[in-house]
Structure formats: structure tokens, C-alpha cells
């Protein structure tokens, strides 16, 4: 007869319980992963807004990129209080236009080189986010710089690839101009040197008058300063958000997340011609791959690098390159939120120096400048708000910064 040892029985039962518990945890974990994947698989919708990233971008350009190209914010951290230049916001002050047309110019894009003193400025009365303002008044745009005249009456020599020889050209330069574009398709352009000063933030134009013809003249003058965004010291601050102005729709996205790892982004733009019911529809898609890795949803895009040899068709590129985005995800009933961050400079000093110059920050003040994606999807198509179409098409077609279709 075998001796009975109660201690062995206790250990044997304990080991069985541990094994059963481990197995149960493993089964629960697998069921949880499968459950999450089943919730993610399906069709998701997200509206595309007309924001500062899609402003000036044609519909086919929007469609030819992945949706994260147009839907992100910037987050900046500085070590001291700063005023960051916002070139797409309405500036302070105005450049006054009188004569053939009367208006105030409130928007500008400018750059200034502190080492050389060279500067270039584009100005306009065009507000990219308020098209109703321009339904019945002329649009004005202009450009000026203080260095192009150095090329006047000079000889430029360059190598001509098509002939294999060196060619010359005399009197090549970029000229300042002011253009006025009217509703009826007529326009006036003045090509003449504009007297101005610009220090990277403030534009000063002394009053000056330009003669178009014997009966038409155009005068301008005034002071315009870039709008700025306050950046408190050591405080991550969101700027240039794709959510800033969501009152205009610029198409929509449908995302098909399929079993087996297939990810399809479909962009759709619909534009009714008139009340007849005819609708112009533009759609394009991007195919990628997806997978879950713990709390991360990985989306991988594959792009073929092909260069075109003029006259001979496509040439040979560098092969296929991958672009992978690692999103953290949140699931809530019929809503899916994907979040990703990217440090623009990744510790590179020259990158920070350039961004400080670009946005008018004090040297050495920039600590971090990152892109942040927060993409929010639903199971049902979003109701459209004010759509970018209809009467505004006439406005867009007569002003160069915008083109719906190439």
C-alpha cells in the first residue's frame, strides 16, 4: 500500500489551479483581441473639412494622398513666452487700395533674410475661409521684393540639357506687381517697382500711385503686421489645427477596414451643377495594410517609386518604399479615434533654427515642434454643413490661389 502524503495532494491541486488559471487568461486575452478586431473591421466615415492644410489644394490632389496628409495639428513648446507668426490669419493694420478699386488688404505672406536684408512679400484681400465675402467684389493680389532688380540688364548663363550647350539671356528679372480681378472676368495688372520695407513681421508701404492708362490709376499705402499666436513658456500649445475652421465641407472619406489586413481609403467629392439634378462626382482611393499590435493600430502604405523618361514612358525608380503610421486607438460603440504624434526635428538643431526663423521665434527658444493626428470616424456618414460649391465656384475660378480640379 502507497503511503498517503497530504502535502503532495495540496501541491498537486495548487499546480492544477495555476494551469487552469493560466489557460483561462490566455483564452480571455485571445477572445479580447478577436473582439477588438471584429469591432474595428467595417466601414468608417470622416468628413474632410476645408482647413488650412487643404486650402489651395485641388480635389484630385487631396484624393491622391492619404487622409492623414490633410488632417493634423501642430503642437509647439518653447522655453519662454513667444509670439508665433500666423501667415494665414488676418493681419493687424491694412494696406489701403484706392483708385480703380477701393479696399483694404489684410493678408500677406512674407519672408526676410536678416543676413542679406533681402525680403519678398505677397499680399491679398483674399480670406481663404470666407468665400461669401468675395461673391460680389474684386479680388486683389500683389507681390514685391527688394532684390529682383539686381538681375535687370544682366546676362544670365545656364546649361541647356536639351541642346548640350550653354545659353544666355539678357534682362531677366522678376518684377513687382498688383493685380485686380473683377467678377466679369476682366482684370488689371500693374507691373512696376513698389517701394516698401519689410522686417519679417511688419510691412510698410509709403503712399504711391500707379497709372494704368489715361483714365485709370491705382494707389496703395499703409502698414500691415502679421497676426501672431501667443505661446506661453513651457506649455505645449496647439496651433494650425485642421479643426480650426470646420464650417465648409471639402468632400468626405470612407475607410474600409477589411478582414485579412486590407485598408482602403476612398475620397469622394460631389458637386451639383445646377437644379437639374446632374452631379459631378470625383472619387479616388488609396490601398494600404493594417494590423493590431497590442494597443497600436499599424497602417502601412506602399508606394512605387517611378520616374518618367521624357518621350520613352516610365523609367526605373528606387523600387517600393513603405510609409507606416502607428496609431493608438479608442473604440466607443460606433466611434473610432486614431491618434499619432511625430516630432518634426527629432533633436536636430538646424531644424529648430529654421523653424524659429520661419515663425518669428526668438533664437534658442524652441523646445519641441510636433505634428499630431487625431482622426475621428463614425459608422454613419456625417451630415454636411456648408458645402464648398454652388455660387462660390465663380469666385474660385477667377482667383489663382484656388483650383477645384487641375
Q: Is residue 17 predicted with pLDDT exceeding 70? A: no
- Residue 402 is predicted with a pLDDT of 39
Q: Are 271 and 59 in contact (CB under 8 A)?
A: no
Whether residue 396 contacts residue 131, with contact meaning beta carbons closer than 8 Å, is answered with yes
d(CA 343, CA 371): 7
pLDDT digits (tens, 9 = 90+) for 134-177: 567 888 999 999 887 655 544 555 556 667 776 655 554 557 88
- Would you kindly state where each structural domain of the chain is located, as residue ranges? 37-79+231-392, 88-225
Q: Give the pLDDT band of residue 272 (cuts 50, 70, 90).
A: low
Global pTM value: 0.72
Element (DSSP H or E) covering residue 373: strand 366-378
Cα separations in angstroms, 402 against 151, 262, 358, 394, 406: 31, 34, 24, 11, 10
Q: Is the pLDDT of residue 28 over 70?
A: no
pLDDT of 227 over the 80 cut: yes
The percent of residues above 70 in pLDDT, for the chain, comes to 71
Residue 185: per-residue pLDDT: 79
Q: Which three cell numbers stand for residue 164?
A: 548640350
Name residues whose C-beta falls within 8 Å of residue 11's C-beta, 6 or more positions apart in sequence.
Answer: none
Is the model more confident about 43 or about 61?
Answer: 43
Q: Which residues pair with 292 in a beta bridge?
A: 297
Quote the CA–CA distance of 27 and 348 in Å, as a whole number. 46
* Owner of C-alpha cell 546676362: 155
The per-residue pLDDT for range 82-120, each reduced to its tens digit, is: 999 998 889 999 999 999 899 999 999 988 988 899 999
d(CA 389, CA 405): 12
> 240 or 271, which is more confident?
240
Selection from 176, 206, 214, 204 nearest residue 100 by Cα: 214
Calculate Rg over the CA atoms of the chain.
29
User: In which band, very low, low, confident or very high, does the pLDDT at 383 lie, cut at 50, 70 and 90?
Assistant: low
Name the β-bridge partners of 193: none
Amino acid at each position: 500500500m502507497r503511503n498517503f502524503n497530504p502535502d503532495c495532494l495540496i501541491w498537486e491541486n495548487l499546480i492544477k489551479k495555476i494551469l487552469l488559471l493560466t489557460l483561462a487568461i490566455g483564452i480571455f486575452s485571445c477572445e479580447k483581441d478577436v473582439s477588438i478586431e471584429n469591432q474595428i473591421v467595417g466601414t468608417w466615415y470622416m468628413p474632410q473639412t476645408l482647413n488650412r492644410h487643404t486650402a489651395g489644394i485641388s480635389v484630385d490632389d487631396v484624393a491622391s494622398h492619404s487622409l492623414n496628409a490633410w488632417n493634423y495639428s501642430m503642437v509647439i513648446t518653447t522655453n519662454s513666452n513667444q509670439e508665433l507668426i500666423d501667415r494665414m490669419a488676418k493681419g493687424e493694420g491694412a494696406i489701403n487700395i484706392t483708385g480703380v478699386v477701393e479696399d483694404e488688404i489684410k493678408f500677406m505672406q512674407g519672408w526676410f533674410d536678416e543676413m542679406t536684408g533681402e525680403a519678398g512679400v505677397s499680399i491679398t484681400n483674399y480670406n481663404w475661409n470666407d468665400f461669401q465675402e468675395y461673391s460680389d467684389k474684386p479680388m486683389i493680389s500683389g507681390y514685391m521684393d527688394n532684390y529682383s532688380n539686381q538681375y535687370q540688364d544682366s546676362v544670365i548663363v545656364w546649361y541647356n540639357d536639351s541642346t548640350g550647350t550653354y545659353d544666355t539671356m539678357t534682362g531677366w528679372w522678376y518684377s513687382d506687381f498688383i493685380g485686380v480681378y473683377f467678377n466679369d472676368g476682366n482684370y488689371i495688372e500693374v507691373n512696376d517697382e513698389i517701394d516698401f520695407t519689410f522686417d519679417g513681421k511688419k510691412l510698410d508701404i509709403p503712399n504711391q500711385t500707379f497709372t494704368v492708362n489715361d483714365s485709370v490709376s491705382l494707389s496703395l499705402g499703409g502698414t500691415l503686421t502679421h497676426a501672431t499666436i501667443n505661446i506661453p513658456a513651457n506649455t505645449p500649445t496647439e496651433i494650425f489645427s485642421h479643426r480650426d475652421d470646420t464650417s465648409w465641407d471639402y468632400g468626405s472619406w470612407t475607410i474600409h477596414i477589411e478582414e485579412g489586413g486590407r485598408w482602403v481609403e476612398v475620397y469622394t467629392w460631389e458637386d451639383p451643377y445646377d437644379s437639374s439634378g446632374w452631379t459631378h462626382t470625383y472619387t479616388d482611393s488609396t490601398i494600404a495594410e493594417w494590423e493590431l499590435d497590442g494597443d497600436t493600430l499599424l497602417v502601412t502604405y506602399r508606394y512605387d517609386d517611378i520616374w518618367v523618361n521624357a518621350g520613352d514612358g516610365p523609367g526605373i525608380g528606387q523600387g517600393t518604399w513603405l510609409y507606416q503610421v502607428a496609431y493608438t486607438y479608442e473604440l466607443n460603440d460606433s466611434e473610432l479615434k486614431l491618434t499619432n504624434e511625430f516630432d518634426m526635428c527629432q533633436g536636430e538643431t538646424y531644424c529648430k533654427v529654421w523653424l524659429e526663423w520661419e515663425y518669428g521665434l526668438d533664437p534658442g527658444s524652441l523646445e519641441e515642434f510636433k505634428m499630431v493626428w487625431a482622426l475621428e470616424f463614425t459608422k454613419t456618414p456625417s451630415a454636411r454643413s456648408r458645402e464648398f460649391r454652388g455660387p462660390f465656384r465663380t469666385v474660385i475660378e477667377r482667383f489663382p490661389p484656388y483650383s477645384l480640379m487641375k
